[in-house]
Amino acid sequence: MRQKALRCALTFGFAALLGAAPAHADGEVTRAKGCGQKIFVSGAHGYSVLSGTVEGMVKDGDVLVGDLELVGHVAIYDRTAGRNVFVMIEEHGLDKSQITQRIATACRSEVANTFTSGQVLRTRGCGNKIFVDATNGFAVLERIAGGTVNEGDTVSGNFNRAGRATVQVKQSGITLTVFVDDFELSRSAIRRKIAETCR
- Positions of CATH 2.40.50 in the chain: 116-197
Task: Just give the CATH number of 116-197.
Answer: 2.40.50
Mean per-residue pLDDT, 59-75: 86
Question: What b/e sequence results for 23-39 when a residue is b if at least 16 CB atoms lie within 10 Å of its CB, and e otherwise?
Answer: eebbbebbbbebbebbb
**What secondary structure letter does DSSP report for 23?**
P
- Indicate the residue type of 27: G
Neighbours of 124 (CB within 10 A): 8
**pTM for the whole structure:** 0.47
Opening angle at CA 109, ends 108 and 111, nearest 5: 120
DSSP state letters, 114-141: S-EEEEEEE-TTSTTEEEEEETTEEEEE
User: Looking at residue 20, what is its pLDDT?
Assistant: 38
Would you say 84 and 70 are in contact if contact means Cβ atoms under 8 Å apart? Answer: no
Q: Residue 148 phi/psi, 5° resolution?
A: -90, 155
pLDDT at 103 over 50: yes
pLDDT at 15 over 60: no
pLDDT in tens, 168-198: 999 888 999 999 888 888 888 899 999 999 9
Taking Cα atoms as reference points, which of 106, 137, 110, 132 lies closest to residue 121?
Answer: 132
Cα–Cα distance between 39 and 36 in angstroms, integer?
8
Taking Cα atoms as reference points, which of 137, 133, 135 lies closest to residue 114?
Answer: 135
Mean per-residue pLDDT, 70-97: 89
